[in-house]
Amino acid sequence: MWVYEKKLQYPVRVSTCNPTLAKYLIEQYGGADGELAAALRYLNQRYTIPDKVIGLLTDIGTEEFAHLEMIATMVYKLTKDATPEQMKAAGLGAHYADHDNALYYHNAAGIPFTATYITAKGDPIADLYEDIAAEEKARATYQWLINLSDDPDINDSLRFLREREIIHSLRFREAVGILKDEKGKKKIF
Amino acid sequence: MNTHFKSYYPYASPFDPCQPVTEKTYSTPPHLYMSFQPPNLPQFSPLEALKAGTLWKDFYDPWYNSFEKAKRGGEI
Amino acid sequence: MTQVPAEYYQIMEQLQAVDFVLIELTLYLDTHPDDMEAIQQFNQFTKERKRIKKTFESQFGPLLQYGNSYSGYPWNWRDSPWPWQV
């Protein structure tokens, strides 16, 4: 069960109507290392991971949905009331033809979201290392997005999201530490 | 204290068409140097923590683009 | 269309700050379940969030539904603005 809260995790502000920036940010909405992929990855892995780390996967997976909402808010505000001409000038003519100004789960190059972005190996160590890699890749994506963006308010939110990737990576590393601890060693009878 | 950036100097050919970048840097955030967070690390205030994206000062490692860095007078 | 007053943003930010501490402590405690001081801080902030939630909801309506907040009359959960609109 999930309960929606009518609040963003972080106050998102946007300085200017800028559909071009929205085109880049959509990478973190429907891209391989985006927030949707992250949420689905962790919330799917939790069913087959040792009980000691189910709570962590549940909580980080849930936080990823809050990040997805932040990205959606940025894209929504950057394109809200943008005219077809503005969309076209931003390289979003093809997007507009199919979706008008609606959001869609695809990456910055327009490739639709796919379940192949997510892995679930069933081996706890393999899955947690996958999660650590995913967090580092998302951190890198935020770096490149900040480098591309000249909107100070958007950058403020992107910096918050990048820092969250650092903390999540740390927690997944700790989860590996918990699982490899010798106190959990197989009992031999 | 660990540094949050490392750099290397890639080979540049006289036939490289783009202006060569002689020094390349990459991010090595603080969590890489702490395998398990110890208790009682210094914290930010709640509002500072929200702005920083973390409650603990040791993990704060903000990323700025070159325009922002220039505006901040070259710090970070 | 009436817009929300400045106070909406102020109280919301207070709530976001306190909730952020709670998120950070939640993830921390998921890997440090025996840290008594962190648990005390967590419970103290839980109390603080209840207080701010009450203040916010008395002015701007329910933050949660399915019975996790009380309702005004008429039903005010579906009222704008939604978080991405403010």
Q: Domain for residue C55, yes or no?
A: yes
pLDDT tens figures, C14-73? 999 999 999 999 999 999 999 999 999 999 999 999 999 999 999 999 999 999 999 999
Per-residue confidence (pLDDT) for residue B76, from 0 to 100: 46
H or E, element range at C8 = helix C6-31
The domain containing residue C48 runs over which residues?
Answer: 6-60
With tokens 């207080």, the residue in question is C51
Q: Domain for residue C86, yes or no?
A: no
C86 in contact with B, Cβ within 8 Å: no
Judging by DSSP bridges, how do beta strands B24-27 and B5-8 pair with one another? antiparallel
Which residues in B have their CB inside 8 Å of a CB on A?
27, 29-31, 34-37, 50-54, 59-68
ipTM above 0.85, yes or no: yes
Q: Domain for residue C1, yes or no?
A: no
Residue in chain A nearest C26 by alpha carbon: A59
Please give chain A's pLDDT, 189 residues, in tens.
999 999 999 999 999 999 999 999 999 999 999 999 999 999 999 999 999 999 999 999 999 999 999 999 999 999 999 999 999 999 999 999 999 999 999 999 999 999 999 999 999 999 999 999 999 999 999 999 999 999 999 999 999 999 999 999 999 999 999 999 988 788 877
Q: Domain for residue C85, yes or no?
A: no
pTM: 0.96
Please state the domain count of chain C: 1
Residue in chain C nearest B47 by alpha carbon: C17
Q: In this complex, do A155 and B65 lie within 8 Å of one another by their Cβ atoms? A: yes
For the stretch A47-74, what's the b/e string if a residue is b when 16 or more beta carbons lie within 10 angstroms of its beta carbon?
A: eebeebbebbbebbbebbbbbbbbbbbb
Q: Single out the residue of A142, A174, A189 nearest to residue A161, CA to CA.
A: A142
pLDDT tens figures, B10-54? 999 999 999 999 999 999 999 999 989 999 999 999 999 999 999
Report all structural domains of chain A as residue ranges with CATH numbers, in order of start.
19-181 (1.20.1260.10)
Q: Domain for residue C29, yes or no?
A: yes
H or E, element range at B52 = helix B46-52
Q: Domain for residue C44, yes or no?
A: yes
Q: Domain for residue C25, yes or no?
A: yes
Q: Domain for residue C40, yes or no?
A: yes
